[in-house]
Amino acid sequence: MGILFGTDGIRGKANHYPMTCEIALNTGKAVGAFVKDNGYTSVIIGKDTRISGDMLEAALSSGVASTGIDVLLAGIIPTPGIAFLCTNVQEAGAGIVISASHNPFYDNGIKIFKHNGTKLSDEEEHKIETSILSNDFVPQDNIGKISILPDGLGKYAKFLFSKFSFEKANKKLKLVIDCSNGAASKISHMIFHPHLFEASFLYDSPNGTNINEACGSQYTDQLRRDVVTEKQTSASRLMETQID
């Protein structure tokens, strides 16, 4: 681990060191330089639903664009979705995810993927960290564009469908899904739609400050209760059918 980078990128309380706009700006510059050195022309940026995501996205995007590299904004998308998009968009030399996983809303983080969807090597991470901290970036005449990546979430959903034989199931799978009020809130409905699944959704209404609030991987009580309830309901329906 380095000064900024921990075991999974840069992480901390949003708007406090190291998760400040200044560090995010320099991180964008360092990633932009990294991408340019490797012969690519754009960086994909995605985020979860934390209120600080927009702020850090703006700083990262500005940093990348100042190096002459284009920014493709994927919006709210699960972390693996950015790794996938890095392999799907030819010109993308890196992907950045703004997320602090299961941490409370007031935290945030910056994770970086390479063009092939893998994480940085220790050497690459050290080089980027050194650039961030030195802040000795050379001004560029070229300025990159910042634009929306068309249907990034849809592309990721299509990829997931291609990897699982959902449509081959003999009957609809019954599921209870806890979205943690996070980045999976929208795509869960895209994947587990009524045509193929009998799914009920918990905590799928993010508002910027309720991500992981008494829900998600650290709070499974409601999920467990709903699974038991749904199972009991299904058993009752089956019994009624057999009696009829």
Q: Per residue in 66-77, is it b (16+ CB within 10 Å) or e — as a string? A: bbbbbbbbbbbb
User: Identity (one letter) of the amino acid at 188?
Assistant: S
Domain 5-155 coded CATH 3.40.120.10: yes
Burial code (b: 16+ CB inside 10 Å, e: under 16) for 19-34 equals bbbebbbbbbbbbbbb
pLDDT recorded at residue 195: 82
pLDDT at 239: 41
Q: Does this chain's domain 5-155 share its CATH topology with 164-243?
A: yes
Question: Above pLDDT 70, what percent of the chain?
Answer: 92
Structure token digits, residue 198? 């009998």
Residue 101 a catalytic site member: yes
The CA distances from residue 149 to 8, 93, 100, 144, 152, in Å, are 25, 15, 22, 14, 6
Q: What is the CA radius of gyration of the chain?
A: 21
CA atoms within 13 A on the CB side of 43: 36
Angle among Cα 104, 110, 115 to the nearest 5 degrees reads: 140
What is the distance between the alpha carbons of residues 221 and 215, in angstroms, rounded to a whole number? 8
Residues 56, 44: Cα–Cα separation, whole Å: 14
First to last CA, the chain: 65
114: tokens are 């390479």
Catalytic residue among 42, 52, 61, 101: 101
Domain spans in the chain, listed from the N-terminal domain onward: 5-155, 164-243
What residues form DSSP beta bridges with 109? Answer: 11
Question: By the 8 A CB rule, do 176 and 226 touch?
Answer: yes
Which pLDDT does position 96 carry in this prediction? Answer: 98
Beta bridge partners of 114: 94
Distance CA 164, CA 148 (A): 28
C-alpha 182/C-alpha 118 separation (Å) is 23
Which residue ranges in the chain fall short of pLDDT 70? 1, 166-170, 232-244
Nearest to 190 by CA among 156, 215, 219: 156
CB 78 within 8 A of CB 185: no
Note the pTM of the prediction, 2 decimals: 0.91
pLDDT tens figures, 181-223 = 999 999 999 999 888 888 999 999 999 999 999 999 999 999 9
Q: Which CATH architecture has domain 164-243?
A: 3-Layer(aba) Sandwich (3.40)
